[in-house]
Amino acid sequence: MLDIRFVRENPEIVKENIRKKFQDSKLPLVDEVIELDKTSRATQQEADSLRAERNRISKQIGALMGQGKKEEAEAAKAQVTQFSNRLAELEASETELAEKIKKIMMTIPNIIDDSVPVGKDDSENVELERFGEPVVPEFEVPYHTDIMEKLNGIDLDAARKVAGNGFYYLMGDIARLHSAVTSYARDFMIEKGFTYCIPPFMIRAGVVTGVMSFAEMDAMMYKIEGEDLYLIGTSEHSMIGKYIDTIVDEATLPHTLTSYSPCFRKEKGAHGLEERGVYRIHQFEKQEMIVISKPEDSMEWFHKMWKYTVELFRSMDVPVRTIECCSGDLADLKVKSYDVEAWSPRQKKYFEVGSCSNLGDAQARRLGIRVKGADGKKYFAHTLNNTVAAPPRMLIALLENNLNEDGSIRIPKALQPYMGGKTVISVAK
């Protein structure tokens, strides 16, 4: 969410940013919110003047009564009552205006970084760099669930009966490999100096609207019936929410946290949700990282963070590339975002396995996350998040890139300690 003062003083910059994101329908909101802000400030000014005048007259009433000036005292009382009635109207108007302004301000997109390429949608995202050599084996690589089924590692039919499409049972060594990935990713980030955390898996509506746009909320979040609680779509939500309404000492920054959680997503609008695959599903687990930083340090942290994901995948012999998200593909709160994509030997192309985002002070402004500087002044922190590893998609990358011709799976050296020293997952007999 932008600062209303910034919008008021830079309406053309805000409008040009909206155009870059191809959201022209939001252009009228800029003038509308500026007019509402003007009315709000005028209303507040009138209310402040009335309060001051009411207080001044109220103090005179006692003196007038003491002097026996009863008629003047009664007139003063009537004036105080008149002021109070008008103040009640103004205060109601202030509340209504504040709600309207907030609703619009939470809809106007954040200002994207100047380095972000302008493009309408993800088809115009830009490849930046490749890491590792993509390999296509001489034998055919089966669909990932076929690989798992051959290893007795997945049961989709049972999951469909129990929960419907978009769920799965992982079994045996495949389930163990899943856990190995999350454990390795956890330790990997701890070695990078991040503090490990297991957060709440449900959050209140005030946190949800603080960390994401209304459109994202509607498309992703599951609401707990009868409760002011939502299931998290990613632990970033509760990790950033941890700092709601707090003032952080500047000397303690950056705060670097890595978290494990299950994630729950409606995947609204995801047409043709695969019945047999685990690429786009309603429930999965993930290791995440978040950083709370000073504004001047956030871009440095952004580049550190996506590089950690690349390093993690390369340590497991998975070729990856980085993609910069263009303006039209950025969620409204994001300043800049890179996707990390893993190589799929079966599809002979890359697919998304992680996303790193710098959100500037948008989440901090919504959630009230402020920093107290050495000079005592307060300002909004910058927040960043990045996927360390989301095992369902990570499993696809691991299985395809470590598949032997006989259907067995080579276990990357980095994961072997978490698999009891096992080096291969053999085909079930």
Which pLDDT band holds residue 271 (cuts at 50, 70, 90)?
A: very low
Our measurement of the distance from residue 78's CA atom to the centroid of its chain's CA atoms, rounded to an integer in Å, reads 54
Amino acid occupying residue 186: R
Residue 30 has pLDDT above 50, yes or no: yes
What is the reported pLDDT for 74? Answer: 84
Residue 214 has pLDDT above 80, yes or no: no
- Fold topology of 4-105: Helix Hairpins (1.10.287)
381/296 Cα distance (integer angstroms): 10
- Break the chain into its structural domains and give their ranges: 4-105, 122-425
422/356 Cα distance (integer angstroms): 32
Q: How many CB atoms lie within 10 A of CB 204?
A: 16
168/132 Cα distance (integer angstroms): 31
Of all residues in the chain, the percent with pLDDT exceeding 90 is 85
Amino acid occupying residue 175: A
Among the residue ranges 74-83, 136-145, 238-247, 336-345, the one predicted with the least confidence is 74-83
What is the reported pLDDT for 276? Answer: 65
Of all residues in the chain, the percent with pLDDT exceeding 70 is 98
Cβ burial of 27 (10 Å; 0-12, 13-18, 19+) is middle
Q: Looking at the domain covering 122-425, what would its CATH class be?
A: alpha beta
pLDDT in tens, 123-182: 999 999 999 999 999 999 999 999 999 999 999 999 999 999 889 999 999 999 999 999
Residues 323/128, Cβ–Cβ less than 8 Å: yes
Which pLDDT band holds residue 253 (cuts at 50, 70, 90)?
A: very high
For residues 218 and 181, the model is more confident at 181
Among the residue ranges 79-83, 232-236, 351-355, the one predicted with the least confidence is 79-83
In CATH terms, are 4-105 and 122-425 the same topology?
no
What is the reported pLDDT for 268? Answer: 64
Query: What is the rounded average pLDDT of the residues 80-91?
Result: 92
What is the reported pLDDT for 64? Answer: 80
**Tokens representing 138?**
């001489």
Return the percent helix, strand and coil in the chain, to nearest 5.
45, 20, 30
Q: Both ends of the chain: CA-CA distance in Å? A: 57
